[in-house]
């Protein structure tokens, strides 16, 4: 037997596939094909047997067909000319009496990933959409999305879209869900699938027939539908009520999000829903699946931001187990901090205290920081625990405790005395820069309460030449000058030595400049230095209270059941700032999409669209630019103030005309007020061929002679900005002339 991967191996396989005796023996023939697939999956190049494998597809053995089609899908992009020879066989199999063979052949044709295959798969896909077998229709629906991807930026086939919309009434529930996903892919540049009232109600009625995956998908798509009346809203919520108790976590989360989004004007309904899903969330938090547990914990934290006491009676569910990974333990400790109340604070503090001596230094410090968060409310108990931890003389524990003390004295001035008494001896075990900074800061600000403060700082001054962290030197300068103002006799000598070293010998320019500043400040007099360094500061406890204010459920409803609770809102916004996706659709009367009873996406009458001449501008805007409303808001807030101008306007705004004119020059509309609004607003976005984004806000008050236009730019390109403003002015001027 030749060794694996040699040319002799491939030649032997080729001879075996061509052997008539092997071909007549079904089992031997299948075994040879399995050997080819085995070598292919191991990385051996077996493309030279492509023709023999194509011949092997002419069989009634379905298992053999699956193997051969898998081979052809793998090597078709590498052998495009030979792959076209297999099209006849595949097209013939698409008409086979066996639905399994028809579906298998159609799926394989759509998986060739060859642009030249488009003309051959279009008709089989259309035939598959009308096939009597549900399996073939499932494959054909997904094949539509694959075919559209092969076409690239070509215009979407309206007849194909109509066919998919009509299949939303298919008897097979998987076909319905596949249609939604396929339409979402095909209409991505237009904002995805449109959900109107007939489609929404039809999907709601089909929900019991769907599996768990289909239910979660449909619930996600129903977020795009806005009920027309309060009665309709509660009818929908009543239909979805049972899915809050589903055994599938994905269905429960999707149903919960739909409830809290639809009930945005009914806070009591939102709170009732969150109470009802408490059980499924707690079950997910104790799941054996670490991924599910972590995701559930992130969403519990999000809920607690609006309902602080929501899970307080179940706080023991969030105690850490020894076998749990670090990231889950950290999430549970953050949740415990939000669940503390007068009844459970002793138990939670005792549990966190046990974590402070964990073998993992990172976890131990996290537990100490958690106790520090609780100390903002229950100061006395927490300070006592933190003080006892200092007696362990562990480097990472002492460093974390001192950092907590530094933050705590700002927020809880009543603990300054106890903290000051506990600082003695901490300098012997702290080695990291964060701990040193915290200790030095405490000695500088509250050193008058610590008898040994000058001597502790003197140790740092003696070792300043060997100090590797510049931030520690900067903190030492500030602390020693502050302490000198309160205890000059004990600090004068060491302050002089420190200033001399930092000015004459220190190589770090930031440290040297800080030392020169303090030296000249002291020359100006003690009163001036005291007024600058020891002046009263703002009350940071008020800032803390502002940060802890309860948020409305609507503030995070749109982020629920997404990656935002996992990554955090700011980090997720940064990750998706440059990502462009489709625009969300709203179910408004003026934009009512096609129903499943009518031919979809066929307008009865085309509106008059003004022609805009922009040939004089060199700016090229991308026609496929789309952005969601959430991305627009995040990007708008992150960008600085742009260019603001006024455009003459004397007529009533016609939103449809303005939007149509903007689309001509590839400027997309994110949101727009209705006609006749007292303060008419519009938010627009466009992107040039270099990737630069232009975000625009239009404002027009009733009776005003000018429309205010504010434009922000993602990149600093003045010429491109002026070109875009010129295009926008031309459009608005043309629309104003048309309306007059």
Range with the poorest average pLDDT among 344-348, 367-371, 639-643, 725-729:
639-643
| pLDDT reported for residue 295 | 93
What one-character-per-residue DSSP string does 656-677 give? HHHHHHHHHTT-EEEEEPPTT-
Check residues 529 and 590 and name the one with the higher pLDDT: 529
Q: What one-character DSSP code corresponds to residue 585?
A: P
Mean pLDDT of all residues belonging to the chain: 83
| pLDDT reported for residue 398 | 93
Could you report the per-residue pLDDT of 266-280, keeping only the tens digit for each? 888 988 999 888 889
Per-residue pLDDT band at 596 (split at 50, 70, 90) = very low
What one-character-per-residue DSSP string does 486-528 give? H-HHHHHHHHHHHHHHHHHT---HHHHHHHHHHHHHHHT-HHH
Could you report the per-residue pLDDT of 67-109, keeping only the tens digit for each? 888 888 888 878 777 777 778 888 888 888 889 989 998 998 8
**Per-residue tokens: 381:** 């108990």
Most confident segment among 563-567, 636-640, 736-740: 563-567
Q: What is the mean pLDDT of residues 277-287?
A: 90
| pLDDT reported for residue 173 | 92
Which residues, listed in sequence order, are joined to residue 646 by a DSSP beta bridge?
Answer: 708
- On the question of pLDDT at 603 being above 70, the answer is no
Could you report the per-residue pLDDT of 161-207, keeping only the tens digit for each? 888 999 999 999 999 999 999 999 888 888 888 898 999 999 999 99
Q: Count of CB atoms within 10 A of residue 618's CB?
A: 9
Q: What is the dihedral of CA 346, 348, 353, 359, to 10 degrees?
A: 160
Give residue for tokens 């001896």.
Answer: 425
Could you report the per-residue pLDDT of 311-357, keeping only the tens digit for each? 888 999 999 988 899 999 999 999 999 999 999 999 999 999 999 99
| pLDDT reported for residue 666 | 81
Q: In degrees rounded to 5, what are phi and psi of residue 621?
A: -95, 140
Range with the poorest average pLDDT among 20-34, 212-226, 623-637:
623-637
- On the question of pLDDT at 605 being above 60, the answer is no
Q: What one-character DSSP code corresponds to residue 694?
A: E
| pLDDT reported for residue 213 | 92
Edge-first strand order for the sheet with 668-672 is 643-648, 706-713, 693-701, 679-687, 668-672
Which pTM value belongs to this model? 0.69
Looking from the CA of 274 toward its CB, the CA atoms found within 13 Å total 27
Check residues 521 and 569 and name the one with the higher pLDDT: 521
Contact 337, 301 (CB under 8 A): no
**Using CA atoms, how far apart are residues 2 and 343, in angstroms rounded to an integer?**
75
Q: Count of CB atoms within 10 A of residue 699's CB?
A: 16
Q: What is the mean pLDDT of residues 633-654?
A: 77
Per-residue pLDDT band at 618 (split at 50, 70, 90) = low
What one-character-per-residue DSSP string does 145-175 give? HHHHHHHTTSPP-HHHHHHHHHGGG-SSHHH
CATH tag for 605-739 (out of 3.30.310.10, 3.40.50.2300, 3.40.50.620, 3.30.465.10): 3.30.310.10
Q: Which residues contact 525 (CB under 8 A, 6 or more apart)?
A: none
- On the question of pLDDT at 617 being above 70, the answer is no
The length of the chain in residues reads 740
Q: What one-character DSSP code corresponds to residue 457?
A: H
| pLDDT reported for residue 395 | 92
**Using CA atoms, how far apart are residues 617 and 439, in angstroms rounded to an integer?**
62
Could you report the per-residue pLDDT of 400-411, keeping only the tens digit for each? 999 999 989 888
Q: In degrees rounded to 5, what are phi and psi of residue 668?
A: -90, 145
| pLDDT reported for residue 651 | 64
Per-residue pLDDT band at 525 (split at 50, 70, 90) = confident
Tell me the C-alpha to C-alpha distance, in Å, between residue 606 and each of 417, 591, 609, 656, 660: 78, 13, 9, 12, 11
Could you report the per-residue pLDDT of 723-740, keeping only the tens digit for each? 888 888 888 877 766 544
| pLDDT reported for residue 26 | 83
| pLDDT reported for residue 474 | 92
């Amino acid at each position: 037997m030749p060794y694996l991967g040699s040319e002799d191996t491939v030649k032997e396989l080729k001879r075996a596939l061509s052997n008539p005796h092997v071909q007549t023996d079904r089992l031997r023939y299948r075994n040879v094909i399995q050997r080819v697939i085995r070598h292919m999956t191991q990385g051996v190049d077996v493309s030279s047997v492509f023709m023999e494998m194509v011949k092997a597809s002419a069989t009634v053995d379905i298992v053999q067909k699956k193997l051969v089609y898998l081979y052809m899908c793998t090597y078709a992009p590498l052998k495009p000319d030979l792959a076209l020879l297999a099209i006849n066989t595949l097209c013939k199999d698409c008409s086979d009496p066996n639905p399994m063979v028809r579906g298998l052949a159609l799926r394989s044709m759509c998986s060739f990933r060859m642009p030249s295959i488009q003309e051959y798969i279009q008709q089989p896909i259309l035939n598959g959409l009308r096939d009597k077998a549900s399996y073939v229709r499932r494959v054909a629906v997904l094949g539509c999305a694959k075919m559209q991807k092969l076409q690239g930026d070509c215009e979407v086939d309206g007849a194909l879209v109509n066919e998919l919309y009509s299949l939303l009434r298919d008897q097979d529930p998987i076909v319905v869900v596949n249609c939604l996903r396929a339409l979402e892919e095909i209409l991505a540049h237009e904002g995805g699938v449109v959900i109107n009232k007939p489609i929404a109600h039809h999907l709601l009625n089909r929900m019991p027939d769907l599996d768990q995956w289909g239910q979660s998908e449909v619930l996600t798509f129903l977020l795009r539908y806005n009920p027309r009346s309060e009665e309709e809203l509660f009818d929908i919520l009543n239909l979805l009520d049972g899915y809050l108790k589903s055994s599938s976590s994905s269905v429960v989360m999707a149903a919960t999000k739909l409830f809290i989004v639809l009930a945005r004007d009914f806070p009591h309904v939102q709170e009732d829903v969150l109470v009802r899903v408490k059980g499924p969330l707690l079950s997910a938090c104790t799941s054996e699946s670490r991924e599910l547990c972590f995701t559930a914990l992130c969403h519990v934290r999000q809920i607690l931001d609006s309902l602080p006491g929501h899970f307080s009676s179940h706080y023991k569910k969030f105690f850490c187990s020894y076998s749990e990974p670090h990231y889950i333990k950290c999430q549970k400790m953050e949740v415990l901090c939000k669940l503390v109340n007068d009844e459970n604070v002793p138990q939670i503090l005792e549990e966190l205290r046990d974590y402070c001596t964990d073998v993992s230094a990172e976890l131990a410090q996290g537990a100490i920081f958690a106790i520090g968060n609780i100390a903002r409310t229950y100061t006395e108990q927490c300070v006592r625990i933190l003080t006892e931890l200092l007696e362990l003389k562990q480097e990472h524990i002492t460093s974390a405790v001192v950092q907590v003390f530094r933050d705590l004295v700002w927020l809880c001035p009543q603990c300054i005395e106890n903290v000051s008494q506990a600082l003695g001896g901490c300098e012997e075990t702290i080695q990291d820069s964060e701990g040193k900074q915290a200790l030095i800061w405490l000695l500088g600000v509250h050193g008058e309460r610590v008898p040994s403060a000058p001597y502790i700082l003197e140790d740092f001054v003696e070792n300043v030449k060997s100090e590797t962290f510049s931030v520690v030197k900067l903190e030492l300068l500030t602390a020693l000058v502050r302490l000198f103002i309160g205890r000059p006799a004990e600090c004068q000598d060491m302050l002089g030595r420190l200033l001399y070293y930092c000015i004459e010998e220190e190589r770090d320019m930031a440290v040297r400049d800080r030392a020169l500043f303090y030296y000249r400040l002291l020359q100006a007099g003690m009163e001036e230095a005291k007024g600058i360094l020891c002046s009263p500061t703002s009350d940071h406890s008020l800032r803390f209270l502002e940060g802890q204010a309860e948020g409305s459920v609507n503030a995070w409803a749109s982020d629920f059941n997404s990656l935002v609770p996992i990554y955090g809102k700011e980090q997720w916004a940064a990750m998706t700032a440059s990502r462009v996706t489709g625009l969300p659709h709203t179910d408004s009367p003026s934009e009512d999409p096609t129903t499943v009873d009518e031919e979809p996406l066929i307008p009865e009458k085309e509106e008059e669209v003004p022609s805009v001449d922009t040939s004089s501008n060199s700016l090229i805007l991308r026609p496929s630019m789309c952005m969601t409303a959430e991305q627009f808001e995040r990007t708008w807030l992150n960008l600085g103030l742009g260019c603001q101008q006024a455009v003459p306007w004397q007529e009533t705004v016609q939103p449809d005309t303005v939007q149509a004119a903007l689309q001509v020059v590839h400027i997309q509309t994110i949101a727009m007020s209705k006609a006749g609004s007292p303060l008419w607003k519009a938010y627009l976005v466009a992107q040039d061929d270099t990737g630069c984004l232009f975000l625009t806000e239009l404002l027009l008050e009733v009776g005003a002679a000018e429309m205010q236009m504010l434009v922000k730019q993602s990149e600093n390109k003045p010429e491109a900005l002026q070109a875009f403003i010129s295009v926008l002015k031309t459009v608005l001027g043309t629309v104003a002339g048309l309306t007059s």
